[in-house]
Chains A and B, each alone.
Chain A
Amino acid sequence: DIVMTQTPLSSPVTLGQPASISCKSSQSLVHSDGNTYLSWLQQRPGQPPRLLIYKISNRFSGVPDRFSGSGAGTDFTLKISRVEAEDVGVYYCVQATQFPQTFGQGTKVEIK
């Protein structure tokens, strides 16, 4: 199975400041079809997960443009350009290149 490792596991951020989360996979996430199936999910407290980013850098419908994804191969990053109060929650990377799909441990974003 592909192991997904996120850092940091906790990220206290000042409102209006940027935040960045790293996700590394134990093997390349490039699929045989040439795509890289790496997504980012947000889980606000008491809520189900919500898709933010798919295929490394594509924002899902309705996701604010302060969220961006980047990376390639085994190293990926989610950035929030200016953190707002509603961004508090746990963020997960997940790979769908190979079954079983695997998630990172989650990164808790909180306001300082």
Chain B
Amino acid sequence: EVQLLESGGGLVQPGGSLRLSCAASGFTFTTYSMSWVRQAPGKGLEWVSGISHTGDTTYYADSVKGRFTISRDNSKNTLYLQMNSLRAEDTALYYCAKGAYVTMENWGQGTLVTLSS
């Protein structure tokens, strides 16, 4: 069974940083691209970032480009999202998802990031 377990969310001040993690199990992590998608409270889904199975290729939404960095450690079956220079509009539930190029097949439960001064 595919499992994706996000962690690392929390309350942070504007301008601060957080690193999200997504521990993957139940599939061969090294052969799948991965994605981060977020959902602001009461709003729809927004794609944030994607990464190839090797980690060589990355993609970002314009809204996070230059502030967020996606990465992966295939030896640990873990996906990361380093978030810097956080803004109020980054407040959201952040999901990791298996897949990026064709579709997003499986989703984690999400980790909540809240910006507040």
Contacts and interface: CB of A to CB of B under 8 A. Distances in A.
A90 B59 CA distance: 26
A54 B109 CA distance: 21
Contact residues on B (Cβ < 8 Å of other chain), bracket = 20 to 34
Interface in B97-111: 100-110
Contact of A106 (B44, B59, B105): B44
Nearest to B108: A48
Contact residues on A (Cβ < 8 Å of other chain), bracket = 20 to 34
Contacts, number: 64
Interface string B81-117: 0000000000000010000111111111110000000
Nearest to B59: A99
B103 A51 contact: yes
A92 B103 contact: no
Given A43-B45, A94-B103, 14 more contacts: A1-B62, A37-B103, A39-B103, A48-B107, A48-B108, A48-B110, A50-B107, A54-B102, A54-B105, A55-B102, A94-B45, A94-B104, A101-B50, A106-B45
